[in-house]
Structure 1
Amino acid sequence: MPDPAGPAPAPTRQSLPRKAQIREENTVAILAAAEEVFAEMGFRGASTAAIAERAGVPKANLHYYFRTKNQLYARVLESIITEWFEAADRFGISDDPVEAIDHYVRAKMELSRTRPAASKVFANEIIHGAPQLMVYLRTTLRNWAATRAADIERWVAQGRIDPVDPYHLLFMIWAVTQHYADFSCQIQAVLDRDRLP
């Protein structure tokens, strides 16, 4: 039998997008703040209270989106890794070694310039023995590096680049590009600058 009062009103189209927009804005603010706090304090030194304060949201709101500090930290690491993999997309697209390597180095340098805290979070994780990332390092990253190494070995075999150990080339690219973010205070002191360009 139908309800005499009629069905409950459906949510309006305007209310859903606004709620989704607020959720997206809060998530972005929390992740950005978390990246900065984890970069400055490390995982152990960071607190959800400090992250919430930096994000400009109540601590309860932070825990609505991310139940634990571990969950938030994992999400920050995931966003860093995703962006770094996207920076290497030319390796899978271009067969020109100069274009592929040049694009990768430039993209990684740009990420170090625009998102230095991300590099510091990742470096801290590695320095502390990669407790959150060891499985990722031994699987996803290892497979990714093997694919890139095969590309580099093929280019060497074709005489398109000088002979080089492909893994050490990747390590050098990572070291050079991330150095500007991870050691920014050292570079600023040596160059006598308040910030890097």
Structure 2
Amino acid sequence: MTQGAVQTPGKRSRAVSAKKQAILKAALETFSQFGIHGTRLEQVAELSGVSKTNLLYYYPSKEALYVAVLQQILDIWLAPLKAFREELAPLVAIKEYIRLKLEVSRDFPQASKLFCMEMLQGAPLLQAELTGDLKQLIDDKSAIIAGWVASGKLAPIDPQHLIFMIWASTQHYADFASQVEAVTGKTLQDEAFFQSAVDNVQRLIIEGIRLR
């Protein structure tokens, strides 16, 4: 009995975590397809296999659920930038960052699309995160790039514009996946096409920042 009592909280915690992840996954699917205004909590509850009452126990409103999904997306989206390290050779670090960003576009296309939708709407529910943790992270990584430029390891570039350029070129493959597929007949799920995208985006950006 004692052993069972000790295990119960852990099992309960795992069950709660699994249920919340199921809700977030279903919410991402519906929000990325219909947006926040076109999504009903009943849809999310049915897709995640929980009751609406149970869903509201964890996320008390549609807006709270939407923000939770966006925060999870932001964690996924920023993970490659957090891995960007000063001790790496500049071109190696930037090439790896490009690869990781394209992997995010390949592996989390719904997340990228929903994040794009939120930005197009002016990010009304994500401003605190954008002006807080995101800005601080960009400032920190921009300082690393500026240091490389100052020490003569990179061509003179504005760090923020470099980061924006990488975001634009890598996220395009997720946010405009239908357009990419219509033009090429391929998606990032095609291994050869993915590698071609990595090679070409890396080459275009690296050649623009390499010292001459």
Query: TM (normalized to structure 1)?
Result: 0.87
1:163 aligns with 2:159: no
Counterpart in the other structure of 2:77: 84
Match of 2:54 among 57, 61, 67: 61
Letter in 1 for 2:10: P
Residue ranges of structure 1 left out of the alignment (5+ in a row):
1-8
SS of the residue 1:88 aligns to: helix
Q: Cα distance 1:195–1:169, how it changes in 2: closer, same or farther (>3 A)?
A: closer
1:107 aligns with 2:103: no
In 2, Cα distance between equivalents of 1:195 and 1:164: 29
Pick the structure with more helix per residue: 2
Larger radius of gyration: 1
- Where has structure 1 moved over 4 Å in runs of 4 or more? none
Matches within 5 A, 1:2-13: 12-13=5-6
Q: Is the 8 A contact 2:30 2:43 kept in 1?
A: yes
Q: Is the 8 A contact 1:27 1:65 kept in 2?
A: yes
Q: CA RMSD in A?
A: 2.1
Letter in 2 for 1:163: P
Q: Is the 8 A contact 2:180 2:187 kept in 1?
A: no
Q: CA deviation at 1:195?
A: 7.2
Give the share of equivalent positions with the same residue, in percent. 39
Q: Is the 8 A contact 1:188 1:194 kept in 2?
A: yes
Deviates more, 1:180-189 or 1:145-154: 145-154
Matches within 5 A, 1:15-54: 15-54=8-47
Residue ranges of structure 2 left out of the alignment (5+ in a row):
191-212
